[in-house]
Amino acid sequence: MRLTSQVALVTGAASGIARAVAVRFAQEGAAVMVADASERGGEETAEEIRASGGKALFAHLDVSDRNEVEEAVQRTIDELGDLHILFNGAGILV
**pLDDT category of residue 94 using cuts at 50, 70 and 90:** low
In the chain, the amino acid numbered 34 is: V
Q: Parallel, antiparallel, or unpaired for β 56-60 and 85-88?
A: unpaired
User: Is this prediction's pTM over 0.85?
Assistant: yes
Query: Structural domain boundaries of the chain?
Result: 7-88
Architecture of domain 7-88: 3-Layer(aba) Sandwich (3.40)
| Span 19-48, pLDDT tens digits | 999 999 999 999 999 999 999 999 999 999
Burial environment of residue 29 by CB neighbours within 10 A (0 to 12, 13 to 18, 19 or more):
middle
